[in-house]
A and B are shown apart, each in its own frame.
Chain A
Amino acid sequence: DADVTQTPRNRITKTGKRIMLECSQTKGHDRMYWYRQDPGLGLRLIYYSFDVKDINKGEISDGYSVSRQAQAKFSLSLESAIPNQTALYFCATSDPSGRGGNEQFFGPGTRLTVL
């Protein structure tokens, strides 16, 4: 089974709709991240959480919110989706105190299209 899973893998929605993207991990990592990937722009950090009680904005948090329901779950919400939020979204985890050090482990991504 994959260590970091994302649901759904693909989603098409309409402008103004509320959307939730979910991320689950079995790695036991405290740190979780949400990124969006756009062609020519690389990966940009939306939100990150260093533990269940810690939520921080990344460089492009406007229009997004997150919820860290448990150590293993980190959800990203678009309260009112707009077309320029069409992108590939990735969840990632890390455990700086563990063997992986600063390595981030990425999920398979969610492709979101907002019409």
Chain B
Amino acid sequence: GENVEQHPSTLSVQEGDSAVIKCTYSDSASNYFPWYKQELGKGPQLIIDIRSNVGEKKDQRIAVTLNKTAKHFSLHITETQPEDSAVYFCAASIGTGTASKLTFGTGTRLQVTL
């Protein structure tokens, strides 16, 4: 089955700096890569996703890049703010429809310091 590795496990940045979280996946058939943010005491929530026919996607201060050849994808957060502090999970999925199960990475705890 699919295996998703995520690094780093913890990341501390100063407010205003950028943060980058990286994931690799094992199954070249995976074609959907979402990122979820989990705030303390809450369930994960989707923040951005990318499909394999796109190399980069941006939404305000967050962006995701995908390198299909190397089988890795990354989350970039610019101009970090204290409210960005949370645990972030990457995930990979093969296809849609009946095959759309997500395999999650192990998570990155991001702390934005003042």
Contacts and interface: CB of A to CB of B under 8 A. Distances in A.
Contacts of B105: 42
A43 B104 contact: yes
Nearest to A58: B101
Nearest to A50: B98
Interface in A1-22: 4
Nearest to B46: A103
Interface in A65-111: 90, 92, 94, 96, 101-104, 106-109
Contacts of B43: 4, 90, 92, 106-109
B100 to A, nearest CB: 5
- Chain B's interface size range is 20 to 34
Interface string B23-44: 0000000001010100001111
B6 A42 contact: yes
Contacts of B93: 102
Given A40-B107, A43-B89, A94-B100, 17 more contacts: A35-B104, A41-B106, A42-B6, A42-B105, A42-B107, A45-B102, A90-B43, A90-B44, A92-B43, A96-B100, A101-B96, A102-B32, A106-B36, A106-B44, A109-B41, A109-B42, A109-B43
10 contacts: A31-B100, A35-B104, A40-B107, A42-B105, A42-B106, A92-B43, A96-B96, A102-B32, A102-B34, A108-B41
Interface of B: 1, 6, 9, 32, 34, 36, 41-46, 49, 89, 93, 96-98, 100-107
